[in-house]
Amino acid sequence: MGCGGGKTVQELARISSSGKVFGIDYSKEMIQLAHKINKKFVENGHVEIMHGSVSSLPFPDGMLNLVTAFEAYYFWPNLIDDLKEIKRVLKPGGILLIANEVYQHEKFEKRNLKWAKWGDMMLHTPEEYREFLTEAGYFDVAIFDISEKNWIAAVAKKQ
Ligand SMILES: C[S@@+](CC[C@H](N)C(=O)[O-])C[C@H]1O[C@@H](n2cnc3c(N)ncnc32)[C@H](O)[C@@H]1O
């Protein structure tokens, strides 16, 4: 979700021997880049790059096993509704993985404020990650934070 230039899509395609990896982004420029970098996988049908918004995903209910959002949720326009839209397209038992190299923490406040302003990004504490995922209706929420680096990952399940 928010596949940007397509690096994560490429990595997921490399490590998956079957199934299909979709990359979605609302920037047409990023879609072109992601398409280019994944050309080989697009041609053999293992990857599909699509233009779309997290707020209205081009998939039917319950289609996907896993949705990843690397460095992406900060920009979503309606966090809770957008998380619910992702939940809609996950299968029962499907997983959402959010991974970011910045989250709200007093130790990194100065740098993070600068980044957040520059990129118009929302930042949350690990506790707030748990709260917004729970509010959006996810279960088995697990938060992993590497506080010395200010990195965070959240894993949550659709029931
Ligand atoms: C920092 S990049 C993500 C990098 C990428 N996930 C990767 O692994 O290389 C953030 C991306 O989110 C996309 N984005 C922001 N808001 C979005 C939205 N509402 N719907 C879809 N994509 C969005 C931006 O266009 C941008 O390409």
Which pLDDT band holds residue 105 (cuts at 50, 70, 90)? very high
CATH of the domain at 105: 3.40.50.150
Considering the domain architecture, whether residues 116 and 139 belong to the same structural domain is answered as yes
Distance, CA of 113 to CA of 123 (rounded, Å): 9
Tell me the three state secondary structure of residue 52: coil
Give the domain extent around 41.
Answer: 1-52
Q: Is 73 touching ligand 1 by the criterion CB < 6 Å? A: no
Q: Distance between CA atoms of 101 and 94, rounded to whole angstroms?
A: 24
Is 62 in the same domain as 140?
yes
Distance between CA atoms of 74 and 14, rounded to whole angstroms? 26
Mean pLDDT of the residues in the chain: 97
78 and 110 both lie in a single domain: yes
* Residue 119: pLDDT band with limits 50, 70, 90: confident
Q: How far apart are CA 47 and CA 83, in angstroms?
A: 23
Ligand 1 atom closest to the Cα of residue 68 is 6
Angle of CA points 158, 101, 22, to nearest 5° = 50
The model's pLDDT over 41-54, given as tens digits with 9 standing for 90+, comes to 999 999 999 999 99
Q: Nearest C-alpha to atom 2 of ligand 1 is from which residue?
A: 4
* 83-88 own/partner pairs: CB under 8 Å, 24+ apart: 83/132, 83/133, 83/136, 83/138, 84/136, 84/137, 85/54, 85/55, 85/56, 85/57, 86/1, 86/54, 86/57, 87/136, 87/137, 87/138, 87/158, 88/57, 88/61, 88/62
Ligand 1: does its nearest atom lie under 6 Å from the Cβ of 72? yes
Predicted confidence (pLDDT) at residue 118 exceeds the cutoff of 90: no
Looking at the structure, tell me whether residues 75 and 121 fall in a common domain. Answer: yes
Burial class (CB within 10 angstroms; exposed 0-12, middle 13-18, buried 19+) of 121: middle
Asked if pLDDT for residue 10 goes beyond 90, the answer is: yes
Residues 67 and 46 in one domain: no
- Predicted TM-score of the model (pTM): 0.96
27 CA to centre of ligand 1 in angstroms: 8
C-alpha 3, offset from chain centre: 8
| Together in a domain, 46 and 60 | no
Number of domains, the chain: 2
Closest among 68, 12, 6 to 36, alpha carbons compared: 6
Nearest CA to ligand 1 atom 14: 2
